[in-house]
Amino acid sequence: MGNNKKAKPKKQKNENINRNRDLAALFFALAAFASFYALITPKSSGLFGESFSNVMFLVFGEGAYTFPALLLWFFTVHLSKSFELRERLDFIWSVATLISSSLLLTFAGYAFIADVSGGWLGEKLYPFFEELFGLRLGFFLAAIVFVYSFTRLLRISISASFINFIKSLAQDFKEFKEEKARIKIIEKKPEPPKIIDRSIEKTELIIKPNIVSKKEESIKKIRSAAPKKEEKIDSSAFPYKLPSFDLLKPDAASGYESSQEELFKRAQLLKKTLSDFDIYAEVKDIIPGPVVTRYDLILAPGTKIQSVTNIIDNISLTMRTASIRVEPIPEKAAVGIEVPNPKRAVIGLRAILESAAFNSSKSLLSLALGKTTEGAGYIANLAGMPHLLIAGSTGSGKSVGIHTIILSILYKARPDEVKFTLIDPKRVEMPIYRDLPHLYNPCSRAADADIITNPREAAAVLKKLVNVMDERYIKFAKEMARNIEEYNAKMLEQGKEKEFYIVVIIDELADLMLVAQKEIEDSIQRLAQMARAVGIHLILATQRPSVNVITGIIKANFPARLSFQTTSKIDSRVILDMLGAEDLLGKGDMLFLPPGEARPARLQGAYVSVKEAEKIVSFISEQNFPRVYEPVAVEVEGKGGFNAAEEKAMKDLIPALNLIKERRAVSQDLLKANFGGSARATNILSMLNVKGFIMKRDGTNKWQIDFDKIEDYLNEN
């Protein structure tokens, strides 16, 4: 109640102040009208008005007309609540304005206009200023005093007004220069753009001719010679012949070659479309490619790249294409607009494999991914990535891209140099490679290696690969080798067997993550972080690149990304950390982001049919190259013991059995609480299951314990 009583007088006080301002505004309005009327028509304003007019003209001369203007300003100040009341300052500046106007008119009468007078006040002040400053300087000083007093009265900052005037003048000058540059571009007779075909140019510049010729000559000898014993130390007993290029279909005639007239016509249409939206540019270069043609534009000064990207849909509509892509070209200070060709070319794998770039590549893990937008073959090295993440919607060309990767390695490496661990939960893409001698499964013997289709088996294989990685690190450390290249070089000097590369390819990661996400993610994380040095490389592919499948841990260890067309912008951000994949054309059109690069490269993937892949696999399998590799982490038959990789966990077996016997139960959490660490608990749980101490019946998720077997084992040990 007390607060309400205090607030009420304050509110009432504000209302009184507003009422007083309104009354003052009414007074000043009437006074301004009356004074102006008296000064204009003194004879018709009565005795008071005539006397007021005579006195004002006598004292101030023509400066008396300033008085009604001052009263009108006071009316505005009191009427508008946005103005702060400054009675004393306003009175001082209004008097100064009135006096300075009288003095200014007196100077004007003496200097310029004879019939203008400043009245009695001006005549009294004039001699002092004229004697002190002279006629012209005195007039200038009187004008300054009048302007300063008037602006202070109107609450105008002279410095701010001057700065704003300078800025406005500079902006107008800048716009004038930009408009002049635009007009110059418009009126200038444009030079025809250059058509640059780099499909052959880049391939030839990759390596010197003499090196290329030697390499091609050696490859021809390998491919044409009859099967004979290889002079390789690590596999000298087994002859092997690399697949011939004749097993692949030759490329058809380039369907993307457009006439110069058509390219120039589309360039002019692009330029006109931009000018319709007040974007002026010149087409500098035209670079035709197999899928898209890139038009390099030089924008007019002051034009932002965002102004071009904002009208992508309008450009697509005018150019009659599905979608376009805008790409900055820093080396040219230009903007590249990638426009799909009316007819797309089909790029065969053979043309890229026969190129000098692929044949001169020394890496066994060279990948012939496709061709760039400029038509040059693109060769990537999996060993330098060191792992690859692939995503793309159904029908985008993801499966064909995986076939291309596998066949690229088959054209480079022998079965004892590179081996594949192929995981295909979909069971439809990988079966054609079942007879390859390159297959590797750490959970089975070499002769039994096959395509892995069961998600649980895939989780076990990835876990065993971690053991393979650990054992290779121990082996390399004994030879003082930091990586597989140094180790193989030392083995070559000593005449011992070299280690082979292992390429793990998972065709649909999402299916595996649905069944055993924790186990799969842990194994992939460890392999991605450490397996590069020991020659193990991962290629993960999925058509659902959601955050549940491609988790942050997986993305952090896969700097190399390959994205085909995605169904949404969100999927593009997940796989590439940027937009762009949703605008691709499908059927092999891809964005490849190499490690360390800021922006992805647009490629058209090489096409290889299933029949071509079957021919290559048949050619390799007919050589009867034996599947030979030392099994790692495999149980020794007839002994019932565990392999070397699991010996470290054997010491936990008896304590775990005693714990189960005591608690009459078993679970992941129970083992984790007593042994520490979820990974250690998982290993113990896996051992117990393999040894038959615990098991799960079909249709249940609860462990069943064989207490009799546990009792017998504890009595024996």
pLDDT class for 665, splitting at 50, 70, 90?
confident
Mean pLDDT of 294-318: 88
Distance CA 307, CA 278 (A): 10
Mean pLDDT of the 489-505 span: 91
Report d(CA 418, CA 112) in Å as an integer: 103
pLDDT interval class at 94 (50, 70, 90): confident
Residue predicted with more confidence, 119 or 499? 499
pLDDT band at 391 (very low <50, low <70, confident <90, very high): very high
Instruction: Give the position of tokens 């309104």.
Output: 22
Model confidence at 586: pLDDT above 60: yes
pLDDT for residue 422 is more than 90: yes
Across 381-387, average pLDDT? 91
What pLDDT score does 539 carry? 95
Q: Work out the average pLDDT over 319-344.
A: 86
Range among 247-256, 287-296, 613-622 with highest mean pLDDT value: 613-622
Average pLDDT for residues 325-336, to the nearest whole number?
86
pTM above 0.85, yes or no: no
Q: Is the pLDDT of residue 420 over 90?
A: yes
701 CB-contact burial (10 Å; exposed 0-12 / middle 13-18 / buried 19+): exposed
Long-range Cβ contacts of 121-130 (<8 Å, 24+ apart): 121/59, 121/60, 121/61, 121/63, 122/60, 122/61, 122/63, 125/99, 129/103
Q: Cβ(373)–Cβ(291) under 8 Å?
A: yes
Q: What is the mean pLDDT of residues 399-406?
A: 94
Average pLDDT over residues 474-482: 91
CA distance linking residue 245 with residue 566, whole number of Å: 33
The highest-confidence range among 188-192, 193-197, 701-705, by mean pLDDT, is: 701-705
Tell me the average pLDDT across 657-676: 83
Q: Mean pLDDT across the stretch 276-294?
A: 87
Residue labelled with tokens 């595996």: 512
Model confidence band, residue 500 (pLDDT cutoffs 50, 70, 90): very high
Q: What is the pLDDT of residue 643?
A: 45
> Of 617 and 94, which is predicted with more confidence?
617
Is the pLDDT higher at 653 or at 649?
653
Is the pLDDT at 603 greater than 60? The verdict is yes
| Structure confidence at residue 633 (pLDDT) | 43
Residue 61's pLDDT band (boundaries 50, 70, 90)? confident
Strand 501-506 versus strand 418-423 pairing type: parallel
What's the distance, CA 650 to chain centroid? 48
Reduced to 3 states (helix: H, G, I; strand: E, B; else coil), residue 190 is coil
Q: Which two tokens stand for residue 408?
A: 């690229």
User: If you average pLDDT over each of 189-198, 218-227, 590-599, which comes out highest?
Assistant: 590-599
**pLDDT given at position 215:** 38
In Å, how far are 308, 331, 348, 399, 401 from 191, measured between CA atoms? Answer: 22, 21, 36, 45, 41
- pLDDT higher than 70, residue 77: yes
Confidence check: pLDDT of 578 > 50: yes
- Residue 29 CA to residue 127 CA, distance in Å, equals 36
Q: Which token pair is 553?
A: 């841990």
Q: Is the pLDDT of residue 346 over 60?
A: yes
- What distance in Å separates the CA atoms of residue 654 and residue 657, rounded to the nearest whole number? 5
Domains detected in the chain: 16-156 (no CATH), 201-252+346-621 (3.40.50.300), 254-340 (3.30.980.40), 644-716 (1.10.10)
- What is the structure's pLDDT at 699? 60
Confidence of residue 226 (pLDDT cuts 50, 70, 90): very low
Split at pLDDT 50, 70, 90, the class of 508 is: confident
Residue 659 binned pLDDT confidence (cut-offs 50, 70, 90): confident
Residue 395 has what pLDDT? 85
Is the pLDDT at 21 greater than 90? The verdict is no
Q: Kindly report each contact of residues 644-652 with a partner whose C-beta sits within 8 Å and lies 24 or more positions away, as own/partner.
A: 644/471, 645/464, 645/467, 645/470, 645/471, 646/467, 646/683, 646/687, 649/680, 649/683, 649/684, 649/687, 650/687, 652/680, 652/683, 652/684
Q: Nearest CA to 242 among 417, 1, 375, 498?
A: 417
The confidence score (pLDDT) of residue 208 equals 30
Residue 116 pLDDT? 76
What is d(CA 631, CA 426) in angstroms, rounded to the nearest whole number? Answer: 27
Taking the C-alpha atoms of residue 335 and residue 424, their distance in angstroms, rounded to an integer, is: 42
Q: What local confidence, expressed as pLDDT, does residue 191 receive?
A: 65
How many Å apart are CA 328 and CA 261, to the nearest integer?
Answer: 26
Neighbours of 314 (CB within 10 A): 13
Question: Measuring CA to CA, which residue among 565, 532, 531, 416 is closest to residue 463?
Answer: 531
The overall average pLDDT reported for the chain is 80
Query: Above 70 in pLDDT, residue 131?
Result: yes
What pLDDT score was predicted for residue 195?
74
Cis peptide leading into residue 386 (ω within 30°) = yes
Range 168-196 average pLDDT: 69
Residues of the chain with pLDDT > 90, as a percent, come to 21
Averaged over 456-481, what is the pLDDT?
91
pLDDT level of residue 582 (50, 70, 90 thresholds): confident
- State yes or no: pLDDT of 71 exceeds 80: yes
**Top-confidence residue, 459 or 203:** 459
One DSSP character per residue, 292-331 reads EEEEEEEEPTT--HHHHHTTHHHHHHHHT-S--EEEEEGG
Q: Higher confidence at residue 187 or residue 450?
A: 450
The answer on pLDDT for 504 being more than 90 is yes
CA atoms of 611 and 247, how far apart (whole Å): 10
pLDDT higher than threshold 60 for residue 637: no
Q: How far apart are CA 30 and CA 37, in angstroms?
A: 11
Instruction: Name the token pair of 587.
Output: 């059927």
Contact 630, 442 (CB under 8 A): no
Measured between alpha carbons, how far is 217 from 184 in angstroms, rounded to an integer?
57
Average pLDDT over residues 42-63: 83
Distance CA(355)–CA(54), nearest Å, equals 106
Residue 592 has pLDDT above 90, yes or no: yes
pLDDT band at 198 (very low <50, low <70, confident <90, very high): low
pLDDT confidence of residue 95: 84
Residue 638 has pLDDT above 60, yes or no: no
Write down the number of H helices and E strands in the chain: 26, 16
Partnered with residue 377 across adjacent β-strands are 371
* Residue 696 phi, psi dihedral angles, 5° rounding: -120, 130
Flag whether pLDDT at 402 surpasses 90.
Answer: yes
